[in-house]
Amino acid sequence: MAASEIVLAGAADRDLTQIDAYREVGGYATLDRARGMGPQAVLDELLTADIKGRGGAGFPMGRKASFIPKPGQNPNPTYLTVNADESEPGTFKDREIMLRVPHRLIEGCLITAHAIGSRNVFIYIRGEYLREFEIIRAALEQAHGAGLMGDVTIVLHRGAGAYICGEETALLESLEGERGQPRTKPPFPAIAGLYASPTLINNVETIATVPAIVEHGGAWYADQGTEGSRGTRVFSLSGNVRRGGNYELELGTTLRDLIYHHGGGLPGSRRIKAIIPGGSSVPVLTADDIDTPLTFEAMADKGTFLGSGAVIVIDDRCCMVQLGLRVAQFYMHESCGKCTPCREGTRWMVQILRKIEDGRAEQAELDLLLDVCDRILGKCLCPLGDAAAMPIASYVDKFRAEFQAHIDAGGCPYKGESSLERVFAPVDQHTHHPTVEVPA
Amino acid sequence: MTDRSHSPRNPIVGTAQGFGVTFKQIFKKPITQQYPEYKRPLYPRWRGRHRLWRHENGLEKCVGCSLCAAACPADCIRVVPAENTPDNRVSAGERYARIYEINMSRCIFCGYCELACPFDAITLGNEFEISEYARDDLIYTKDMLLAEPIKQVPVADPELYDTPIPYYKTHS
Amino acid sequence: MPELVTLTIDDREVQVPKGTGLVETAMGAGIEIPVFCYEPRLGPAVGACRMCLVEIEGMPKLQAGCTMTAQDGLVVRTAATSDKAAQGQNATLEFLLLNHPLDCPVCDKGGECPLQDLTFRYGPGTTRMVFPKRTFDKPIPISPTIALDRERCILCYRCTRFSEGVAEDHQLVPRNRGAQTLITTFEEEPYRAPFSGNVIELCPVGALTSTQYRFEARPWEIQNVPTVCTMCPVGCNVTVTTREGKVKRILSRNHPEVDQGWLCDKGRFAFSHLRAEDRVTQPLRRVRRRGFATISWEEALDETERVLRGAGGRIVTALSGSETIEHAYGLAKLLRTGLGAHSAVLPEETDVAIDAFRLPLSAIRGAELIVVVGDDPVAERAPVVDLWLKLARRGGAEVVTIGAAGSVLTAPGSAAQTCRELAGSGSELGRRLRESERAILIWSSPGGHGGAEIAALAGELGFAGKPGSGAFHLPATPNGRGVADAWAAASDDEGPNPEPIAVLVVSGDEAASDPHVRALAERAETVIAIVMFERVALGWADLVLPGTSYLERDGTAMNLEGRLQRLRRAAIPPVADELSWLSQLAARFGVDVSPYPAPVFEELAGTVYGGLTLGELGERAALAERAQIPAPAPDPDTEPARPSDGHYLNLLPYRPLFAGAAVERVPELQFQRPAAEVELSWDDAQRRGISSGDEVLVRSNGTSATLRARLNRRLLPGVVRIADEHARDLHATVEVTKP
């Protein structure tokens, strides 16, 4: 679409799922060049590019890759794992990348594997992405047939429906065949990751950016975007907008630009009530924040995060309590159950929010909800607990009047007209476990 | 200063004074309470013989948790629990006290067992006429403790006291 | 000397070796860091329950203390001095109690429950939970011995980590995710494994409880007696819980060198044999062919004296190897010095040669190469040793089992030959054993000359100078060496084997159940049996003197390591202790045997154990240093079984763990008894068209048995394995066919 496209460049004109088409736009040429450069040279380009991880945590990729021990320092093999378990609500950018430019992802894998000295790459793809899986599988066959793999093996592994397996150590556990539950860090995956060996784990978008960085140089990439957020990003725009979808834009673009210029604004004459800037795991912004640039630092200044870059627009038809309940139900369902605060706290939050939405709550329970969020924050084994507590706390903080109205009115003020009405998760589906007679 | 009020100089005078005190009592109204014809009313919270209670539907309240035995400073309670089965449901919980014995000769009637019980199953009632001739007869078993008291004793009017008194206290 | 680091905990400076866990460091300083899921024996700390949250200077978030190790200059604040940490721990407890049922009065764990204790110390005083708690059907028997209550479970995952990562039976697993997680058995099958009972001790709440101990007693009503289990030669240290003089349960006492805190199910649950309905409580005399009449002790002792005097010295004693050393010595002194009866039969030989390569069992964990020689699985002979082997393997050691069902398949009965081969020059494994600094040999088979075979091998492989290398012989008897020592120490005289046998004295139920002893009994004129159970002696013993169990004895026993351990009387036996009537009987023959174990032990220890006293043994007995004994020469004349000719298969009977007179009388353990099965190798089964689960006929000359087939890919073709109680009369070679 725009000239600033890097990851999705060329996909609008051609079918880049085919290797020949991809080669026509210069695909796999960078791979040869990278293999000619030494691994350290590739790493240096990544460091110069200062690209921050596109999964959600935003850790600088080059720095993460430099934690991997150099050949000879560690007796175990080095692994590269690509996190294609895109499950953050509102995020569908990796899907687009895998659907339209799978070869760019594969080239990125091979270049990165070369940079860290790895011969084994694992792509952990979300189980629900069946079409994307088939496309990548076909693309891998094409690349293999064209003799591009070298001595690298790429394994494409499907997940089985767990958001928590997007957390890096839970992903590694799942890949190893264990229950998908996160591990404590330290030890970090760079030292002891997959099979207790040094592992670099990165998001699909991050890896798919690598060919461009190596082709044009890290400095070129670092020139775009802002000082704290270099390069471009694929933003998934959804919610109450006319033209939702994936837009690859330079970092620094404002929310107004994305929503109104690219997204066509809100349908009808609706007004923005709230904006979730980075997937449901981040605190919400209000309509006053519409001019915030989409950068890591600007979002941090506003008390939220850029996260996965999934912008969800909420207009004034939506009840914020219902939104909070729906979001809390998601985290309750997806909690892995290993640590106590997340496992028990997310369920408690759902129970309290349900009570508030039904209008049965007492005044003290609003503060109880905030206290529960406070008790979860910072005490969990992995960020899922924080991802559940922070947004809910932000809904109460920024839309307290609405929560108060539920309590005062003894019911939802939208009276069944909210846009989220009846869109609730079947969280009770596993409530009763049938008991089977155990013979003596 | 030595206190000489109780030691008069003259021993005869002193003796006469002593007899005088005794003589005067002949004409005063006696304060002796003629027990057992007159039984002085007990205070509502007075601790007497223990009682085990049942629910309205006849199930015993005691689940045999043995907290009373733990609390007892004299270590005089013996609880041996057993499981409630569908054929034999004795208490309202998962278990009941198959054996429940209190050794009354050891009991100091402190009421700690009543305080410890989570189900209000054991309370100290108002009965105190529980003398026996043989020591073994003082080991009260569960049936004895579940039973109604044989002799009733009067209890003072609870309205006179401002502390709320539970139901079982006024019905000994 | 490990490097020491200095750190500060709650303003207190502590110095510990580098790498010590933070929880242990704090404990050493007298500070508690509360934990639920932390158990170092289960592997590296997971930090799952978030109970151990502490504040570390320099880190913004609270950290899980159990995952941290002591480092120089660390400044730690626990709940005692940090409000943030206190609030974090309070939050964890509040979250745990949200859906925890109000079961304390009816829960067996009450009074010894870490959740109760920690809630008092760090938790909230009231609840803010107004919603209905989540419920499950409860309790669910996951096996006849263990009950699971899912409502109480706090999902610390200790039990599943034990099942997966220690016992490696993978039977207790978590299912579902998040708030819907629950603990269940794989495929809802009963939890049938030799170590299942350990989860009862691991569970910090009353979710996994013992059905035997259900509603038996509260912690303030019991007495605990420290003793040692002698149902197998490992000799795990246990604590016996009694109430009003009756044994109610057995817990592990954790000897770090012997059992590491684990107990097998036999040692844990078999104590109810003390109250078996056929327990002999009075001496018995045989009447008619299959009957007993009760006689008084006076009569019994008179009769015994009469019989023994009339034997003219032609007395043979059959020992079980499960007696205490003192009982054996008392019996030996009476018979040998009083009656000149020097002939005794033990189920197996014993030898001191193994003492030259003596090691504590915990040394297995540090080994790099372990070779197990023999046909019997280690778990059947000495269960806890199998746990040590698994621990070693998880730590990177290589474990090679050489036998009819091992990782290296050899013909049954060829263990001695394997030893010869390993010592030879052509053996690659033998070379690696020689080169290793930390190699362990284990003999797990019948025979072996009491450890002389494996000691000979260890000697030839050069283990003598290597403190990290050693050898273990797994005997069939719990105290065989102790009993043999006691018998030998009673007298220096020898005598010929009596022929014909006038009196056979059978000591112990194991000897009374042994077919070889029964065969001897047929040749003897009179049989005196000292047993616990009437049915064991019915029909062949002429006089029965009541025996006691290891839980009712005070004395000593020597385990397979060669460690002398002290047994203590946990329950008063319903009958007189053996020493008391042995002492009276001995007096009639002019022999002085004390009725108390301490003087008996001291008399014996003077000759055999270097003057040790009973008091010096201590609560967790130490293992003596290695003895300097010259290695014996290997036995030249053992022969393995002939290889099968394809049609006839070699029968390899084995004695399973859950066997014996005591186990047979425990109703809860019957499900662990071996099924009526015959184990076939894959090839043999294919050739006969037999699949796993089929009913097959096993025939040998004149006898047959109908058993269920079970295929074992790791069994040597040509061999079948049957538990010896099902293989009773079958001969050494059998045919197996589908009927």
Please report, in angstroms and rounded to a whole number, the separation of the first and last CA atoms in chain B.
55
Unique residue bearing structure tokens 């509102």? A90
* Token output for C111: 């009074």
Closest CA to A157 of A183, A181, A179, A136: A136
A287's CB contacts (< 8 A; 6+ apart) are: A271, A272, A273, A274, A275
3-state SS, residue C554: coil
The whole-number pLDDT of residue C261 equals 95
DSSP letter, residue C113:
-
* CATH 3.10.20.600 domain span(s) along chain A: 232-315
Q: What pTM value is reported for the model?
A: 0.92
B83:C215 CB<8 A? yes
Least confident piece of the model among A177-181, A279-283, A429-433, C568-572: A429-433
> Shortest Cα distance from B167 to chain C (angstroms)?
23
pLDDT in tens, A124-140: 999 999 999 999 999 99
Q: Is the pLDDT of residue A425 over 90?
A: no
Query: What's the fold here for domain A19-222?
Result: Rossmann fold (3.40.50)
Q: Please, what's the largest Cα pairwise distance for chain A?
A: 72
Closest CA to B146 of B89, B77, B61: B61
**Edge-to-edge strand list for the sheet holding C223-228:** C223-228, C237-243, C246-252
C64:A162 CB<8 A? no
pLDDT in tens, A224-270: 999 999 999 999 999 999 999 999 999 999 999 999 999 999 998 88
The whole-number pLDDT of residue A435 equals 44
Mutate to test the interface with B, among C108, C210, C215, C221 (most CBs of B within 10 A): C215
A340:C180 CB<8 A? no
Interface contacts A/C by beta carbons within 8 Å: 118
- Distance of alpha carbon C361 from the chain centroid: 13
**B97: contact with C, CB 8 A cutoff:** no
Q: Is the pLDDT of residue A303 over 70?
A: yes
Q: Is the pLDDT of residue C403 over 60?
A: yes
Separation of alpha carbons A87 and A126, rounded Å:
7
C48:A333 CB<8 A? no
Residue type, position A334, single letter: E
Residue ranges of E strands in chain B: 50-52, 77-83, 95-103, 122-124, 139-140
Total Cβ atoms within 10 A of residue A420: 17
Q: What share of chain A is helix, strand, coil (3-state, %, to 5)?
A: 45, 15, 40
Angle, CA of A196, A201 and A202, to the nearest 5°: 180
- In this structure, chain C runs to a length of 739
Separation of alpha carbons B127 and C337, rounded Å:
70
Closest CA to B172 of B38, B39, B46: B46
3-state SS, residue C467: coil
DSSP letter, residue A52:
B
- Distance of alpha carbon A130 from the chain centroid: 18
Partners of A388 on chain C (C-beta within 8 Å) are: none
> Shortest Cα distance from B27 to chain C (angstroms)?
60
Sorted by where each begins, the domain ranges of chain B are 50-146
Tell me how far CA of residue A287 lies from CA of A59, A246, A255, A268, C386, in angstroms.
Answer: 28, 22, 10, 17, 66
Residue pair A334/A384 in contact by the 8 Å Cβ criterion? yes
- Average pLDDT for C290-296: 91
Residue type, position C61, single letter: K
The whole-number pLDDT of residue A28 equals 93
Nearest CA in chain C to A367: C128
Tell me how far CA of residue A7 lies from CA of A46, A130, A211, B21, in angstroms.
Answer: 15, 22, 9, 117
> Could you say which of B63, B66, B83 has the minimum Cβ distance to residue C221?
B66
Nearest CA in chain C to B99: C216
* Token output for C414: 């060829």
- Average pLDDT for C177-183: 91
What is the helix (H) or strand (E) element at residue C578, kind and residue range?
helix C578-588
Partners of C129 on chain A (C-beta within 8 Å) are: 348
- Distance of alpha carbon A427 from the chain centroid: 23
Mutate to test the interface with C, among B80, B89, B113 (most CBs of C within 10 A): B80
* Token output for C459: 């000697």
Residue C515 φ/ψ, nearest 5 degrees? -60, -35
Question: Per residue in C169-178, is it b (16+ CB within 10 Å) or e — as a string?
Answer: bebbebeebb
Q: What is the DSSP string of C152-211?
A: T-----HHHHHHHHTS----EEEES-GGG-EEEEGGG-----TTTTHHHHH-SSTTEEES
In the CATH hierarchy, which top-level class contains the domain A232-315? alpha beta
Partners of A341 on chain C (C-beta within 8 Å) are: 50, 91-92, 95
Partners of C147 on chain B (C-beta within 8 Å) are: none
Q: Is the pLDDT of residue C449 over 90?
A: no
Q: Is the pLDDT of residue B147 over 50?
A: yes
The whole-number pLDDT of residue A434 equals 45
Assess whether the previous peptide bond of A187 is cis (omega < 30° from 0): yes
Residue C85 confidence class, pLDDT cut points 50, 70, 90: very high
The percent of residues in chain C predicted with pLDDT above 90, rounded, is 75
Partners of C221 on chain B (C-beta within 8 Å) are: 66, 69, 79
DSSP letter, residue C675:
P
Partners of C111 on chain B (C-beta within 8 Å) are: 70
B65:C105 CB<8 A? yes
Q: Please give the residue that has the higher pLDDT: either C392 or C648.
A: C392
pLDDT in tens, C276-285: 999 999 999 9
Residue pair C73/B32 in contact by the 8 Å Cβ criterion? no
The whole-number pLDDT of residue C642 equals 64
Query: What's the fold here for domain A320-409?
Result: de novo design (two linked rop proteins) (1.20.1440)
Unique residue bearing structure tokens 């930090």? C47
* Token output for C731: 């001969």
Residue pair A210/A65 in contact by the 8 Å Cβ criterion? no
Q: Is the pLDDT of residue C575 over 80?
A: yes
Residue C310 φ/ψ, nearest 5 degrees? -75, -5
Residue pair C243/C217 in contact by the 8 Å Cβ criterion? yes
- Average pLDDT for C196-208: 96
Average pLDDT, chain C: 92
What is the helix (H) or strand (E) element at residue C286, kind and residue range?
strand C284-287
Please report, in angstroms and rounded to a whole number, the separation of the first and last CA atoms in chain C.
68
Total Cβ atoms within 10 A of residue A355: 19
Total Cβ atoms within 10 A of residue C514: 18
Closest CA to C112 of C210, C231, C256, C191: C210
Separation of alpha carbons C529 and C538, rounded Å:
10
Assess whether the previous peptide bond of C500 is cis (omega < 30° from 0): yes
Q: Is the pLDDT of residue C674 over 70?
A: yes
The whole-number pLDDT of residue C627 equals 77
Residue A109 confidence class, pLDDT cut points 50, 70, 90: very high
Contact partners for chain C, using 3 or more CB pairs closer than 8 A, are A, B
Residue pair B131/B116 in contact by the 8 Å Cβ criterion? no
The whole-number pLDDT of residue C159 equals 96
Cβ burial of C289 (10 Å; 0-12, 13-18, 19+) is exposed
**Which architecture, in CATH terms, is B50-146?**
2-Layer Sandwich (3.30)
C218:B63 CB<8 A? no
- Distance of alpha carbon C229 from the chain centroid: 7
> Could you say which of C111, C215, C221 has the minimum Cβ distance to residue B95?
C215
Separation of alpha carbons B62 and B60, rounded Å:
5
Contact partners for chain B, using 3 or more CB pairs closer than 8 A, are C
The percent of residues in chain B predicted with pLDDT above 90, rounded, is 45
Provide the ipTM. 0.92
Total Cβ atoms within 10 A of residue C496: 9
> Could you say which of C105, C111, C221 has the minimum Cβ distance to residue B118?
C105
The whole-number pLDDT of residue A438 equals 36
C105:B119 CB<8 A? yes
* Token output for C622: 């130490």
Helices (H), chain B: 11-26, 67-71, 112-116, 142-146, 167-170
Q: Is the pLDDT of residue A439 over 50?
A: no
Total Cβ atoms within 10 A of residue C168: 17
